[in-house]
Amino acid sequence: MLATVELTDIILWLLYIAIPIIVFYVAYLILTKAFRYLGFTQLESVIIVVVSFIFTFPIILFGYDISNIALFSYNDWVIGINTGGAIIPIIISLYLIIKRKIPLKHVIIGVLIVTVITFLVTNPVPSKGIISTFPWWLLPGVSACFAAVFLLKKNFAKGASLAYASSTLGVLIGADVLHLYQLLKLSPTKIGTMATIGGAVLFDLVFLSGILSVILYGIIMFKYR
C-alpha cells in the first residue's frame, strides 16, 4: 500500500510539472505560428512573444520600472504606458504597415471598426482598469479578421498584417484612450494608482486580439483558397 501511494504521488508530481510545460509549449507553437503568418522569421517570432511576455512583469532597471513607464499624474492617478502591452504592439503594427505597404485608407477603416467595437465591449473599473468580459472580448479580434478579409482578401500577407495592426491599434484606442477620461474621473483605490495604457488586463486583450485575428484570418483564407 505504501509503495502504491508513493507511486501515485510521483505520478501526480510529474503531471503537475508536465501539464504546465505542455500548455506553454502549445501556446508557444500557436503564437510563433501566428507571427510567422505575418512574415516574421522563427527567431523574430520567438523574440516578440518572449519579450512581450517578460514585460508584463515589473522590470526595475536603475530604480526605474521599464515595464510600466509613468507619463504624468492626474486626480490622484498616475498615467503610464506598458512596454509589452502597448509600445511593442504599436511598433510591430507600424512596422507591418510600412513593410507590407498597406494602403492607409485600409488601415484607417480597419482600426476604426475595431476601435468602435472595442469601446462598446469594454468599461473602466477603478480596481482593475479597463476590462471586457467573455465572450465580448473576442469581438475585437474577430472584427479585425473580417475587416482584413473584406479589404485585402486577394493579398494574404497584407491581409494578415492588416488584421494584426487593426486589432492591436483598435483595442488600444477603443479601450484605453477613449475610456481613459472616464477612468480618471473615478477615484483610485489608493493615491498614486497607475492607470497604464496597455497594461494588466488590457495587455491580454491587445495580445489575444492580435493573435486571434491572425489565426482566424489564416483559417478563412485557407478555406477561401
Domain residue spans of the chain: 2-224
What would the pLDDT profile of 85-111 be if each residue is shown by its tens digit?
A: 899 999 989 998 998 899 999 999 999
140 in Cβ contact with 205 (< 8 Å): yes
Give pLDDT, residue 5. 52
Residue with cell 488600444: 172
- The larger pLDDT score, comparing residue 66 to residue 20, is at 66
What would the pLDDT profile of 56-91 be if each residue is shown by its tens digit?
A: 777 888 778 888 888 888 888 888 999 988 999 999
Distance CA 102, CA 118 (A): 22
- Nearest 5 degrees, angle CA 50-CA 219-CA 109? 80
Residue 10: all three cell numbers together = 510521483
**Eight-class DSSP state of 85:** I
- The b/e string for 90-101 (b: 16+ C-beta within 10 A; e otherwise) is bebbeebbeebe
Average pLDDT of the chain is 84
Indicate the pTM of the whole model.
Answer: 0.83
Average pLDDT of the residues in 193-218: 82
